[in-house]
Each structure stands twice: as structure tokens, then as C-alpha cells.
Amino acid sequence: MTHAGNEEDLPRLFREVERMADTFAGGVRELDERKVTGADGTGRVVATVSGSAQLLHVRIDPRAMRDLDHVALSQAVLDAVGAAREAAAEGLDEILDRLNSGRPQPDPEDSSFTRYLDAILREGGHG
């Protein structure tokens, strides 16, 4: 069952989808050009990632090599990379906000889909 009004909306919808795809593609290019850093709690280990969270560089202060054992040093590296990737994720959020034209996003906890997906994962032994 087709309504004439809906058929007239199709070109507008296609233009909107094309605009959104262009906005997203531009945002992804922008993210790839960004460099974002993060550090461990001491600031002795600093990681740099691209805006799309690809690890580019890790700098370890010589004092960290002297003061930390191998377990603590590896944790410091993980913390620094995690902090950098969190900062990169904020950039992705900005891009998605632009794509969404600034409309507020629903709380994931309030989403029926999220509850449904959680239930499926729990049933499958994944959570």
C-alpha cells in the first residue's frame, strides 16, 4: 500500500541519506588526520593515537623504565593507550553529533534494543 505523499518524500529522503553519508565520510577523514594523546596516571607513559584510535606512538619516560617493574610498566602503557583511545572516541562522538544535527541521543540504558541485546548475550553465556 503506497501513498502519493510518501513517494514524493523519497527524493528528499535520498538527499538526506546522501548528506548524512557525506558528513560521515568527511568526519572519518577528519578523524584520521587527528592525533590524540593520553597518559598513564603518572604522566610518564604517553601514547599517541590517530583520531580513529590507531596507535601511532608510545613514549616512555626513562624514569618509568627505572622505577617500574615490567608488570607496572605494561599496565602504564595500557593505561596511556586507553586514555588516548578514549580521547579519540570523544572526537567520534563529535562527528556523530554533527551527523545527528545536534539532536539529543537517547540514553542507551533506556533503549529497548539494548535490553533485548543484553538478554540475548546473557542467554548465550556471553555476559
Strand partners, 57: 48
Tens-digit pLDDT profile for residues 72-100:
999 999 999 999 999 888 887 777 777 77
Domain that holds residue 41: 4-123
Neighbour order of strands in the sheet with 55-60: 35-39, 45-50, 55-60
Tens-digit pLDDT profile for residues 27-59:
778 877 889 999 999 999 999 998 878 899 999
d(CA 49, CA 32): 10
Q: How many structural domains comprise the chain?
A: 1
d(CA 98, CA 26): 11
CATH number of the domain enclosing 10: 3.30.1310.10
